[in-house]
Each structure stands twice: as structure tokens, then as C-alpha cells.
Amino acid sequence: MAAPITANFETMATQTSIVGTSAWWTENDDRDLVVQITHHVGVRLAERSVRESGGEVRLELALSRAKGEEGAPDGVNAMLSTLNIALRQRMAGRRLKVVAEDEPKQIVRVAKTNFVPAQTTRRTPSHADGPVRAGIPEDGRVPRYYQAKGLLQQLSQELGEGAALPSERELAERFGMARMTLRQAIGELVLEGRLRRRHGSGTFVASPKAVVPLTEPGEAAEATRKLVTLEELRADAAVAAELGIRAGDPVVHVEQILLTGDTPMSLESAYLSAHRFPALRDTYDAALSLHTHLREENDVTFAQAEERVETVLATPREAGLLGTTLAQPMLLVHRVSYDPAGNPVERVRTLIRGDRYSLALARHDS
């Protein structure tokens, strides 16, 4: 039997201390260089030298292994350290070369908002649309897949909407990361709606999420509708209570898919009193939203609505109608709309794809 292969991290620290691809950007009108290095926990940047020559800025790093350094938390084997370097001249179009352990290291220029210094004493403002400090804790320790997510988002910005990502093998070589790590990062970005997978074709940069008002998700601009169900049912106790009718009274059920282009965005099921809207089954045209139809054909005025929002997973039928998977998180909006007299007009259940929708809520303080 072959002897097991073992490795002593202490002896490897000076050979494999920096992991993956590091990142850099500039601040202060291109005069300050910020370099973020990903390295093994317990490895420290001992000293550095900076040389500016012609079209190149050369940064040389010396690394050391701290004695008695605590091990990494479970699942974390790397941390981020940040260097802030005042340049003699603006960075402009010069290239940056980083050398450590007598070897040049991979480093990419990124947008400042994608990476936040992990070990600086001053607080760095966060990007308004993103998590505080880019989601990096104050101790700078992050899982490898999270760093991969940042690099993939930066690459997506460079490639642009609809562009195909390189293969996992190419990305692994480019970022210096394991394919399993990249697969986890890509999977999360797909769930977040930033990337899209096409079976047999690859992974692509997703289009921006559609932004619609929370009060009327079915009113999204440039949306089309596909009628799934238009039927008359008997109201159960819950629907009857919300519509202010008796259990067993007839209700019209209108089920539609809202699409942007060819992509299903949400599934809406509306219930209305058949006594109040007796001609709805015969006159409704799915080319218009249900609210538009009720305003134009029934002279309905919508005054207010009560809503409740929760996160759910789609049922097999819903996933099939929306063209997604059972594991895709969904937003579920329950709404009861009222007319100016306070009478219920409709009871609506809207299932929204969390990867393709962003809800907007306007609030007016009295």
C-alpha cells in the first residue's frame, strides 16, 4: 500500500501563501493605489517595496508565517489584507506588477465598489446598492467562493448583458481557483439572477431585473400576459372572507403569466365576485392588465390595497409555468384591493421570480 501523502503548512507558507487572483484599484484622483491580497490565514505581509518606472509600477512583497497564529474558522482557509500606497505620479495607464515569493502574482484591476479593504482602520463607504463593506467582515476572513463571486461579477460587468461566460476550466485557470469553488459561486449568482444558465449552451450574463411597483406587480412596463385559466369557481371560506361574500358564492378566477420578452416573470391568480362582475369571463382580454380592464369596462376605481409578502418555493406546477426549478426562491405577494367605498374588488395571489424581479415601494409620510 502506498504511503499517504502529507504536507506541512509551515514549510509551505513561503511557497503558496498567496492564493487565487488579487485585486487592485485607485483612489484620490488616481494617486493612491489600493491592493487587496488574498492569502492563507496566519500568513502576514512582512514588508514591501514599490518602484515606479516608466509605464510600470512594481510591488514586491515579503511574507511571513506568524507564530502561534490561530487557525481559520470552519470552512475558511483564506483572508484578505489591503495595502494603501501613495504614488508619486498618477497611475493613469501604467500596469501594476506584483511579485511575491520570487514569482509574479495574478492581479486584476476592479471597480472600487466590488472589493472593500478588509484590514484598514478607517471605514470605507459602501456601494449604495450593495451590502455594507461588500459583505466582507471586519476581520477580513471570507470563504473562497465569496471571493470568486466578486471576480465573476466584475467579469460580468466587463462582458456585458447577454454575453457568455468562459468555461469553468478557463475561469479556474484565469482566477487560480478550483472548479468546485467556481461552481458554487456561479450557482449563487444564478439564484440571485445575475447569471443565467442555458442547457447545452453555457452560462450567460443576465439582463437587469425588472422593477415594478409592489402594489401592482402585474402592471410592469413592456410586459405581456399569457392567460392560463379563466373559470368560475365556488368561493371557499378564506376567499369569501377577503371578498366580503358568502362561502359558496361564485367567483371568477383569472390566472395569468406575466412575461418580459419570452421570459416568464410572475404568475398571478386573481379572484373576483361573479355577482359584481358577471360578464368578466366573456369580455376579459389578456392583452390588457386586469386592472386596466376593470377600469375601462366596469368603471372601477382602485383606492387602496392590503398586502402581505413572504418568500416561498414554487410548486411543481408553478415552476413549470414559470420555466424555473423547484429550488428557485420566489416572492409571494397576497393582495386585497378596495374601491373608494371600502368594498373588496379582488383577492390576488402573485408568485414572483426572485431572480428576475425587483419590487419598488413608494411611501408617503403624513
Half-sphere exposure of residue 152: CA atoms within 13 angstroms, side-chain side: 33
pLDDT of residue 338: 95
* 82: confidence class by pLDDT, cuts 50, 70, 90: confident
Q: In this structure, what are the phi and psi dihedrals at residue 22, rounded to the nearest 5 degrees?
A: -85, 170
Which pairing describes strands 22-27 and 107-109: parallel, antiparallel, or unpaired?
Answer: parallel
pTM value is: 0.51
CATH match for 143-208 among 1.10.10.10, 1.10.3470.10, 3.40.50.620, 1.10.240.10: 1.10.10.10
Residue 212 has pLDDT above 70, yes or no: no
pLDDT tens figures, 115-142: 433 333 333 333 444 554 555 555 556 6
Same fold, 143-208 and 210-360: no
Q: Which of 74, 6, 75, 81 is nearest to 43 (CA)?
A: 81
> CB-based contacts of 345: which residues, under 8 Å, 6+ apart?
272, 294, 300, 302, 337, 338, 339
With contact defined as beta carbons under 8 Å apart, do 336 and 344 qualify?
yes
* 343: confidence class by pLDDT, cuts 50, 70, 90: very high
pLDDT tens figures, 273-325: 999 999 999 999 888 889 999 999 999 999 998 888 888 878 888 888 998 87
Domain boundaries, the chain: 13-121, 143-208, 210-360
Let me know the angle formed at the C-alpha of 205 by 351 and 209, rounded to the nearest 5 degrees.
Answer: 35
Strand ranges for 238-328 from DSSP E: 250-260, 263-273, 304-313
**Pairwise CA distance, residues 13 & 63, whole Å:** 8
Q: Which CATH architecture has domain 210-360?
A: 3-Layer(aba) Sandwich (3.40)
pLDDT of residue 308: 87
Query: In which residue are the cell numbers 379572484 written?
Result: 271
pLDDT of residue 30: 83
